[in-house]
Structure 1
Amino acid sequence: MRPVRRRALVVALPFVLAWAVVVATFAGLCDRLPDPLATHFGPDGKANGFTGTGAFLSVVTAVLLGSGLLTLVPTLRLTKGLSAQRFAVTLGYGMSGLLGYAFTALLFANADAARASRVSQPLWQLGIALAVAAVMGALGWLLASRDAASGTGPGKGAAVPRLPLAKGEVATWTRTVGSPVLIAVGAGATLPGAVLIAVGSGTGAWLIVIGLVSAALARCRVTVDRRGLAVASWFAPRPRMRIPLDRIERATSREATALSLGGWGYRIRGGGSALVFRSGDALFLTLAKGREFAVTVDDAATAAALLNTLIERDLNERDRPAAGERG
C-alpha cells in the first residue's frame, strides 16, 4: 500500500469505525427507541433536549465523518510521515472515541423508554467517555509515531541547491507575497466587529483584533540575505520574524497546499511551524534540533539556493582560523 493511502487509512479509520458502531447500534435498537430521542442532558442527568430519530443519524454522520474528513485533508500531501502530525492524529483518535462512545451510550439510554422526557444519563458516563477518548488518543499517538518519513524530500546526505557567488560578492533575495484568504478573513471579522461595537456588544472587540491580525499577515515581504531569513508585514518593518543564518542547517523548496501545512496564517505543526499565505511554491528550512519552518512564497527555489550558499560561506568563515592562530 502506498504511504499516502496507508496514512489516509490510519487517520480516517477511527471515525469510520465509530460511525459504523453507532449506525449498527441504532439499527439493532430502532424498534425500542422513542421518537424523538433524548439527546441532551442537564447537570442532574435529566433530558432537556430532543432530536428526531431520522435527524439523529444525519447528525451522527455529519459530525463523525465530517470530523474525519477535516482531520484527513492535511495529511494527504504530507511528506514527512504522520509523526509530523502526531498531535492532530492523537486529537482525531481521541475525538472519534469520545463521540463514538457518547452517541452509542445515548442510544442505549433511550432504549425501551416510553417517553424521551423520562430518559436520564448519569454523570459517570462522561468519565467513561473521557477514558475511551484517552485510550484512543494514545493509540493514535502510537500509530503516528511509528510512521516515519516517506523519503520524498531530500535526506540528510542529499544534494541541496546552491546559488554561485564570487568571493566577497553580496546578494539579497526578496519577494512580496499576499493571501486573498487572510484578506477575506480580516474584512469578514473586522466589519461585523465594528457593527457589534456600535450596538454595544463587547464581542466585537475580539472580532476586530482577529481581523487586524489577519490583515497584518495578509501581505508580507520575505527577504533572504547574509543575516538569514526575515518576514515582515507589508505596512511596517517591525515587528518581523527573523531566523538567523546560524540557526538554519539547509533550505529546500517544493509545492505545498495550504491545508497540508495546517491552514492559512501562522501555523504551529508537529516538528515545526509555518507562515502560510496560499498554496503553491514554498520555502522549507531545516533548523537546529531538527525542527522545520516553512513559508509559502514565489521563486522559493532561488531563495533556498541563496540560503544554502550563505550557510556554507558562514560555516567556512567560522571554521577558518584567525590570523594569530595560524602556524
Structure 2
Amino acid sequence: MTRSVRRALIVALPFVLAWAAVLAVYAALRDRLPDPLATHIGSGGEPDGFTGPGAFLSVSTALILVPGIVAAAIAHRSRTALGAQRLLVATGYGTPAMLGYITAALLFANADVSDPAAVDFPLWHLAVSLAVAGAVGWVGRLLAGLDAPSAAGPAAGPAAGPAGPRLPLAKGEAAIWTHTIGSPVLVGAGVLTVVVGAALALASGWAGGGPLMAVGVLTAALSRCRVTVDRRGLTVAPWFAPRPRLRMPLARIDEATSREVRALDLGGWGYRMRAGRSALVLRSGDALCLRLATGKEFVVTVDDAATAAALLNTLRERVRTGPGRQG
C-alpha cells in the first residue's frame, strides 16, 4: 500500500464508519419508524421539521459521505504528512462522529412512535455528541501521528537572488500591474455546500439548511480575486468589490519572487496560515512570493507572477532610496 493511499484511508475512515453506523441503525429500526420522521428539533426539544425515511437516509448519507470523499481525495494527492496536520485530521474525525451520533439518536427517538410530533429528543444529546466528537477526534490525532513529517521537513522554495527581479522603469514613470484569478475548486465547494444546505433545508427547515447555503454562496463569491501591484504595494480584493481586501504595503516587503506551488502543499485552497507563512491559494501553479520585513512569507497564486514580483521590487527600491519616489 502506497503512502498516499494509506493517508486517504486514514482520513476517510471516520466518515465511512459513521455512515455504516447510521445505515445499521436505520436497517435495524426500519419497520418501527413512522412516516414521516421527526428530523428537526426546536430549542425546546420538540420536533418542528419532518421528512420521509428514505429522504432522511439520502440526506444523511450525503452529509456524511460527500465531505469524506473530498477529504480523502485531498489527502491522497497531498505531499504534506498528516502528522503536520493533526488538528485538521482531529476535526475531520470529530465532525462525522458528531453527525453520526445525532443521526442515529434521532432514529432511535422516532422508533415505535405513532405520531412524529410526539417524538422526545432531549437536548442533552448535543452535549453527548460533542463528547463523542472529542473522543473520536483524539483518535484521529493519534492516527495522524503515524504519518509524521520527515526530519528534513517540506522542501523549501528556491532561494531568492540578492537583488531579486526588476522591471525597468524610467525616472518618474508609473506602472500598475493587475490580474484576476479564480478557483474552480472553491466554486465547486461553494456549489456543493449550497446543494447540501438546500437538501438539509428541505428535510429539516430553513433554520437547519439556511446557514449552510449562506456559507456556500459566500465561498463561491470569494473564489475569484483581483491581485494588483502599484505604488501602494500589493492589494488582493474580491473581483466584485474593493472590500474586504488584503494589502501588503511596500514598506513591509523585503523582496518579491515567483515560483510554482501546489495548493495541497500550502495546506489546501483558500486563506492558509502556517508557522512563518500565510498564503491565499486559489489554485496550483504560478505564485507571487513575498519575503516580509518580519521574516515571514506571504504567497498568493496568480498568473504572470514574475512580472508582479519585478514591479514590486522596483517600486520598493524607489521608496527606500528616496529619489524618484512616487507620491
Aligned residue number for residue 294 of structure 1:
299
Instruction: Tell me the secondary structure at the aligned position of residue 179 of structure 1.
Output: strand
CA distance in 1, matches of 2:293, 2:2: 31
Aligned residue number for residue 178 of structure 1:
180
C-alpha spacing 1:279/1:42, structure 2 compared with 1 (3 Å): same
CA distance in 1, matches of 2:30, 2:234: 58
The C-alpha deviation readout for 1:92-111, integer Å capped at 9, x for no partner, is 21211110100111111122
**Structure 2 contact 181–303 (Cα < 8 Å) conserved:** no
**Structure 2 contact 178–228 (Cα < 8 Å) conserved:** yes
Percent identity over paired residues: 45
The C-alpha deviation readout for 1:274-296, integer Å capped at 9, x for no partner, is 12344322356799999764321
Instruction: Give aligned pairs, total.
Output: 268
Q: Larger Rg: 1 or 2?
A: 1
**Structure 1 contact 33–111 (Cα < 8 Å) conserved:** yes
Q: TM-score of the superposition, structure 1-length normalised?
A: 0.63
Q: What one-letter code is carried by the residue in structure 1 that aligns with 2:155?
A: P
**Structure 2 contact 280–299 (Cα < 8 Å) conserved:** yes
Q: What pairs up with 1:121-200 in 2 under 5 angstroms? A: 121-149=121-149, 153-154=154-155, 160-161=158-159, 163=161, 171=166, 176-181=178-183
Q: Name the Cα RMSD after superposition.
A: 4.7
CA distance in 2, matches of 1:76, 1:290: 32
C-alpha spacing 1:113/1:259, structure 2 compared with 1 (3 Å): farther
Q: What one-letter code is carried by the residue in structure 2 that aligns with 1:26?
A: Y
Aligned residue number for residue 260 of structure 2:
254
Instruction: Tell me the secondary structure at the aligned position of residue 117 of structure 2.
Output: helix
CA distance in 2, matches of 1:164, 1:93: 45
Shift of 1:73: 4.7
C-alpha spacing 1:81/1:286, structure 2 compared with 1 (3 Å): farther
Aligned residue number for residue 33 of structure 2:
33
Instruction: Tell me the secondary structure at the aligned position of residue 108 of structure 1.
Output: helix
CA distance in 1, matches of 2:61, 2:303: 40
Q: TM-score of the superposition, structure 2-length normalised?
A: 0.63
CA distance in 2, matches of 1:240, 1:17: 44
Aligned residue number for residue 313 of structure 2:
none
Shift of 1:15: 0.8
CA distance in 2, matches of 1:148, 1:121: 42
Q: What pairs up with 1:1-327 in 2 under 5 angstroms? A: 1-149=1-149, 153-154=154-155, 160-161=158-159, 163=161, 171=166, 176-181=178-183, 218-221=225-228, 231-233=234-236, 240-241=247-248, 253-257=259-263, 261-264=267-270, 267-271=271-275, 272-282=277-287, 293-298=298-303
Shift of 1:62: 0.7
Shift of 1:24: 1.0
Instruction: Tell me the secondary structure at the aligned position of residue 300 of structure 2.
Output: strand
Aligned residue number for residue 318 of structure 1:
none
C-alpha spacing 1:304/1:76, structure 2 compared with 1 (3 Å): farther
Shift of 1:138: 2.2
Shift of 1:145: 4.6
Shift of 1:79: 2.4
Instruction: Tell me the secondary structure at the aligned position of residue 147 of structure 2.
Output: coil
Q: What one-letter code is carried by the residue in structure 1 that aligns with 2:302?
A: V
**Structure 1 contact 85–269 (Cα < 8 Å) conserved:** no
Shift of 1:170: 8.1
The gaps in structure 1 that reach 5 residues or longer are: 186-205, 224-229, 306-327
C-alpha spacing 1:280/1:10, structure 2 compared with 1 (3 Å): same
**Structure 1 contact 74–259 (Cα < 8 Å) conserved:** no
C-alpha spacing 1:287/1:33, structure 2 compared with 1 (3 Å): farther
Q: What one-letter code is carried by the residue in structure 1 that aligns with 2:235?
A: A
The C-alpha deviation readout for 1:41-85, integer Å capped at 9, x for no partner, is 223323222111111110111100122234345434432322443
Instruction: Tell me the secondary structure at the aligned position of residue 113 of structure 1.
Output: coil
The gaps in structure 2 that reach 5 residues or longer are: 169-175, 188-213, 311-327
Shift of 1:131: 0.6
CA distance in 2, matches of 1:23, 1:290: 52
C-alpha spacing 1:125/1:239, structure 2 compared with 1 (3 Å): closer
CA distance in 2, matches of 1:218, 1:49: 39
Instruction: Tell me the secondary structure at the aligned position of residue 219 of structure 1.
Output: strand
C-alpha spacing 1:270/1:6, structure 2 compared with 1 (3 Å): farther
Shift of 1:299: 5.8
